[in-house]
Amino acid sequence: MEALFDNREAILAGFWATIRLAAMSALLSLVLGTLLAALRVAPVPVLRWSGTVYVNVLRNTPLTLVLLFCSLGISNTLQLNFDVYDPSFNGYWLAIVGLTAYTATFVCETLRSGINTVPLGQAEAARAIGLTFFQSMRLVILPQAFRAVITPLGSVLIALTKNTTVVIVAGYAEAAFVMKEMLYESTGGTLEIFLGFALGFVVLTLPIGFLTGRLARRLEVKR
């Protein structure tokens, strides 16, 4: 416990970095995942094909490789940086790009399963009153789909929070990076450090599951 107490400021800073990273990635993943879900069910074959290729490629690529591509490919090779003078800020946004690109595919598939729960008659009625595909998606189908998949989306958010431990390869220092540094410098208390950080992630993820489960029960669509 002494190692955790002595490094409490670094630990809190690391978990705050994890929260910032997870929150921004979750927001952008929800936006991109919703767009991908619309593409995957679009009536235009080119749009469906584009969405399918993106989802299948990114979803089956290890997250570590995606983040390495952001760090080595986008930043080092292409020299596309968010801030060349602040490595921490640059690493933060590179990590967000990688996490968002990867997590959006799971958001997409979760939403697509929710879209499949919406009765076909809802879409037919939307077309009958003159709504376009994207209007019917925005006004009729997606609101019902979101209500049907709140709990699975919570699981995706929990997975995203845990996946932030991989962003060290993109050059961003969060909780896992702090733990690595503590283990490297520590002469003892390895088990306490592991258990302390494990408890920290439990504290971050348990409320997500509780809140999304409660929200899902409250907004459940009665069929």
Structural domains for the chain: 17-174 (1.10.3720.10)
DSSP conformational letter for 83? -
Q: What pLDDT, on a 0 to 100 scale, did the predictor assign at position 60?
A: 92
pLDDT score recorded for residue 170: 62
Is the model's pTM score more than 0.85? yes
Give the C-alpha separation, 166 to 171, whole Å. Answer: 10
pLDDT of residue 47: 92
- The continuous run of DSSP H or E covering 159 comes out as helix 150-163
Closest CA to 28 of 103, 106, 92, 83: 103
pLDDT on residue 92: 85
Question: Residues 56-80, buried b or exposed e (16+ Cβ, 10 A)?
Answer: eebeeeebeebbebbbeebbeeeee
Q: State residue 128's pLDDT score.
A: 86
d(CA 37, CA 176): 32
The tens-digit pLDDT sequence of the chain (223 residues) is 666 666 677 778 888 888 989 999 999 999 999 999 999 998 889 999 999 999 999 999 999 889 888 877 776 676 677 665 666 777 788 889 999 999 999 999 999 999 988 888 888 888 888 888 888 888 889 988 998 899 999 999 999 998 888 887 666 666 777 777 777 776 666 777 788 888 888 888 899 888 988 888 887 765 5
Q: Are 107 and 158 in contact (CB under 8 A)?
A: no
Contact 207, 149 (CB under 8 A): no
Q: Do the beta carbons of residue 145 and residue 114 sit within 8 Å?
A: yes
